[in-house]
Amino acid sequence: MIYIFLFLLSFLLTYFIKNYAIKKSLIAHVNERSSHTTPTPHGGGIAVAFTWFLGLTYLFFSAEISSSLYYALMVGVIISVVSYFDDLFELSAKLRIFVQSFVAILGIYFIGGLDSIDFGIFSIENQIITNIFAFLLIVWFINLYNFLDGIDGYAGSEAIFLGLSGFLLFGGAQFLVLAVAVLGFLVWNWHRAKIFMGDVGSTLLGYTVAVFTLYYANENPLNLWVWIILFGVFWFDATYTLLMRYKNKEKLSHAHKKHGYQRLVQVGWSHDKVVKVSILINIGLFLLIYFIPNIFMALVISILSLYAMIQYINSKKAFL
């Protein structure tokens, strides 16, 4: 019953936020980074955030989530609030990275740090190294999720996939809460989008995925790679694009439309087609984890598959 309530809450909140944004002219205008062609209301991530935090709090008081995971996830309130103001006023890059660093440190504190990083043939247990890695992972996940939130239904469908996958692999009501909180928004965001998520939602989702990755890695070090595989479509595209832009000596702070999903749109793929293909790839990544007992073999296959997909995109539209 709680999941139906949370879905309806997210659905209705998104509807009211959409109407309010139109009334107050809170519109995402078309710019050099945009993949959309018409101005569209933004701020739908507020509905996701409110529903998510409400659902988490319900789980906490009903003893269905550990206190350490609850507090770590609730740190996301900070990134959501600051990102909301960033949506409105375009805060400076220095302030954004400061806030991201602050929430990363808080999140790591509540999780209890990252115990170890298992590479199969050896593991790193030095807490300085593991926690620097955890810090960088959180900050990168926050930013890359924001980068990949660019077409209708893309960021939302990824979050629902991760929520459902997390539930199937690890159990935990928090994953279902995440899925229904995003689903209520996604109804309004599917192609053609009537409202966008905005940074308030995308940065929160990136932070949330990072916390799940680190928390479950502490339960079993190999779970780190499980989450890396599950999140592969997003982190691989974002990381490949960043490295290629660095190689081309581009100014990394400049807006661009060079991510794989953006280039597919540029060669004529509809938003809907890109999202549906990404869902199929995600299902494939899940099946790798589910059916291949050796997680490192699954990781290698996933990376090779994602690289092949990027090369296919390059053949359609070269990375210039």
The mean pLDDT value of the chain amounts to: 94
The letter for the amino acid at 5 is F
Q: What is the per-residue pLDDT across 147-175, written as a single tens digit (0 to 9) for each?
A: 999 899 999 999 999 999 999 999 999 99
Question: What is the structure's pLDDT at 28?
Answer: 65
* pLDDT tens digits for range 89-140: 889 999 999 999 999 999 999 999 999 999 999 999 999 999 999 999 999 9
pLDDT band at 76 (very low <50, low <70, confident <90, very high): very high
Per-residue pLDDT reduced to its tens digit, 194-251: 999 999 999 999 999 999 999 999 999 999 999 999 999 999 999 999 999 999 999 8
Instruction: Count Cα atoms within 13 angstroms, Cβ side, for 263.
Output: 18
pLDDT tens per residue, range 257-268: 999 999 999 999
pLDDT of 203 reads 97
Where are the chain's structural domains?
Answer: 2-226
Burial, 171: exposed, middle or buried (Cβ in 10 Å; 0-12, 13-18, 19+)? Answer: exposed
pTM tops 0.75: yes
Q: Report the pLDDT value the prediction gives residue 255, as an integer from 0 to 100.
A: 82
pLDDT at 286: 98
Residue whose structure tokens are 């939130």: 149
Model pLDDT, residue 31: 54
Alpha carbon distance, N-terminus to C-terminus of the chain: 51
Q: Distance (Å, rounded) from C-alpha 190 to C-alpha 194?
A: 8
Kindly report, residue by residue over 20-50, the tens digit of the pLDDT. 988 877 776 555 555 555 678 888 999 999 9
Say how far apart CA 63 and CA 237 lie, in whole Å. 37
